[in-house]
Chain A
Amino acid sequence: MARSANAAELGPGRSIGLTLRSVRHGYESEGVRSVVLDGLDITVDPGEFVSVVGPSGCGKTTLLKTLQGLSRPWEGEVLVGGQPAWKVPAGRVATVFQSDCLLPWRRIWRNVVYGAEMAQRRSHRAKKAEVQALLEQVGLGENADQFPSQLSGGMRQRVNLARALYVEPSVMLMDEPFAALDGQTQEVMQAELLRIWALHKRTVVFVTHRLDEAIYLSDRVVILTQRPTRVHSVVDVPFDRPRPLEIKRTPAFNELLDDVWARLREAAGSTAGIAR
């Protein structure tokens, strides 16, 4: 079976690292190949929180697709825990999308088990009680029996997160998960994400347009260039954890923000589409 994995390496609940080695990838339309990723080298350690920022259209989505194993790169290697990404069994890498992607006809707790149901390729006969603890962790202890339409945008995004956590992934990929929320809810969700992340310590690759979000959340920030995309530079974030939201208001934070901002401007060649 192509999808069987090295169990010791990829057992549920264990964080694993990611390696991209000179990855070249793009898309083909009407016989014309367009390069999106042009030799990407990124390493993410097990349990590390890494954000990826870059100019609009720099191929962040393409990058996530290769990490999910949904598309194989033209050249180079994408390794998840030392194994090619497309060989990694379903559910080891979970993605949290910008849109909350909840099924409107399922109650909240049944939405949370949906990912596990898909990953195991059979009907997952989960009990509500098993989900309850996780729902309480994400602050939705009271909402198990509600339907998505009864929840606010922030709460729905928490369900999205819980669904990813419920499959006990080794790696979580997050594609601008808070972009659709209002500014205040974004900040709350950032702090919440760090709190929940500290409980699970999964490897996270977090794609965002917001530099303050990237810095606040991450151990390292990877800055990508304009297409054809390469890694411009990687910035270490020196702040201790746990991080209160207040550090965003400190001079050290703003200095780092300015630094990343300058690098991004250099990487983009222009400042279009970047929120400070």
Chain B
Amino acid sequence: MIARAWRYGQHVLVFAGLMVTWHLLTTSMNDPMFPTPERVWQSFTRTWNDGSLMEAFRDSNGALLAGLALGVPGGIVLGMLAGYFRIIDRILAPYVNMMLVVPMVALVPILIIVFGLGTSSRVAVIVLFVLPDVLVNTRGGVRLADRQLLMMARSYGGSTLSVFRTLLLPTAFPSVMTGLRIGIGRGITGMIVVELTLVASGMGGFIMEALGRFRAGHMIVMILLIGLEAVVLTSLCVLAERRVLKRMGA
């Protein structure tokens, strides 16, 4: 009980220390571009009350959700196929390696040309950010499957589909969840990047607008919100993984 309280206490202490440092620094600088914590809090209450904060949040996350809905299953399916069928792996490998190495940001202008300045290009960018990580992790997870178990399932006449469902998917599950966690993080990055650079809307657009009006407090509020969202989403992933693994008895 005390150990538990101490674990939270550590966080509170570090956070309080950061706040005090921030406060002291910004007060001493007395520059409107480096707002004090109080000013940031004011920005928060103002944008919260006029609804602009949540509107930007909803707008961005609509695109994020759509992008995840396409990118995650796409990555899982391609990853499972690449993990199981050598030929698919060989064909996909160069593209996947390229996608992992080439900064996806470089593709954003091309996607805008193809999909226009609307929601669809934002969704496309998020898919491109999410898919490679989910794919690579899933593929690695499938590769972990025990050859002997596969042979056993085959010897009982298991079809490829049932082998996938009963053997490969459970084996790959922890890796899939890792891919999902990384993928969500990358998805949020993609979402903000496209809104900051080309399609000025949602949370990125909110930051750009605040920049244009020299509202540093607004910018910091949004950055903190993005950070908070990332932490919440990845923690949910970890929680979901633990629950499923516990049910599977691992």
Bound complex: CA A1 to CA B249 (Å):
39
Q: Say yes or no for A68: interface residue by CB 8 A criterion.
A: yes
Spot the interface stretch: A90-98, A227-235, A241-249: A90-98
- Do residues B152 and A97 form an inter-chain contact, with CB atoms below 8 A? yes
Smallest CB–CB gap between A50 and chain B, Å? 19
B-chain residues with CB within 8 Å of residue A95 when the two chains form the complex: 152, 155
Given contacts A103-B167, A121-B162, are A114 and B156 in contact (CB under 8 A)? yes
Given contacts A97-B148, A99-B148, A117-B166, are A104 and B156 in contact (CB under 8 A)? no
Beta-carbon contacts under 8 Å, A103-132 to B: 103-107, 114-119, 121
- Do residues A119 and B157 form an inter-chain contact, with CB atoms below 8 A? yes
A-chain residues with CB within 8 Å of residue B166 when the two chains form the complex: 103, 114, 117-118
Of chain B, the residue at the smallest CB distance from A93 is B155
Bound complex: CA A70 to CA B154 (Å):
9
B-chain residues with CB within 8 Å of residue A101 when the two chains form the complex: 146, 148-149, 151-152
Contact with A along B29-56 (1 / 0, CB 8 A): 0000000000000000000000000000
Q: Say yes or no for B3: interface residue by CB 8 A criterion.
A: no
B-chain residues with CB within 8 Å of residue A70 when the two chains form the complex: 154-155
Of chain B, the residue at the smallest CB distance from A120 is B157
- Count of chain B residues near A, Cβ 8 A: 20
- Do residues A167 and B148 form an inter-chain contact, with CB atoms below 8 A? no
- Do residues A104 and B157 form an inter-chain contact, with CB atoms below 8 A? no
Bound complex: CA A106 to CA B170 (Å):
10
Q: Say yes or no for B70: interface residue by CB 8 A criterion.
A: no
Q: Identify the A interface with B (CB < 8 A).
A: 68, 70, 89-91, 94-95, 97, 99, 101, 103-107, 114-119, 121, 147, 149, 167
Q: Identify the B interface with A (CB < 8 A).
A: 146, 148-149, 151-159, 162-163, 166-167, 170, 248-250
Top-6 shortest CB links A-B:
A90-B157, A118-B158, A105-B248, A118-B156, A101-B152, A115-B156
- Do residues A103 and B156 form an inter-chain contact, with CB atoms below 8 A? no
Bound complex: CA A89 to CA B159 (Å):
13
Of chain B, the residue at the smallest CB distance from A173 is B155
A-chain residues with CB within 8 Å of residue B146 when the two chains form the complex: 101
Among B152, B159, B163, B250, chain A packs the most CB atoms within 10 A around the CB of B152
B-chain residues with CB within 8 Å of residue A117 when the two chains form the complex: 162, 166
- Do residues A103 and B154 form an inter-chain contact, with CB atoms below 8 A? no
Bound complex: CA A94 to CA B157 (Å):
10
Smallest CB–CB gap between B242 and chain A, Å? 14
- Do residues B157 and A103 form an inter-chain contact, with CB atoms below 8 A? no
Smallest CB–CB gap between B54 and chain A, Å? 41
Q: B153's contact among A107, A118, A147, by CB below 8 Å, is which?
A: A118
Given contacts A99-B148, A114-B166, A118-B162, are A105 and B249 in contact (CB under 8 A)? yes
Bound complex: CA A95 to CA B159 (Å):
17
- Do residues A91 and B157 form an inter-chain contact, with CB atoms below 8 A? yes
Smallest CB–CB gap between B94 and chain A, Å? 26
Of chain B, the residue at the smallest CB distance from A115 is B156
Smallest CB–CB gap between B34 and chain A, Å? 53
Smallest CB–CB gap between A130 and chain B, Å? 17
Smallest CB–CB gap between B53 and chain A, Å? 43
Given contacts A105-B248, A105-B250, A147-B249, are A89 and B151 in contact (CB under 8 A)? no
- Do residues A121 and B250 form an inter-chain contact, with CB atoms below 8 A? no
Bound complex: CA A90 to CA B156 (Å):
6
Of chain A, the residue at the smallest CB distance from B153 is A118
Among A105, A147, A167, chain B packs the most CB atoms within 10 A around the CB of A105
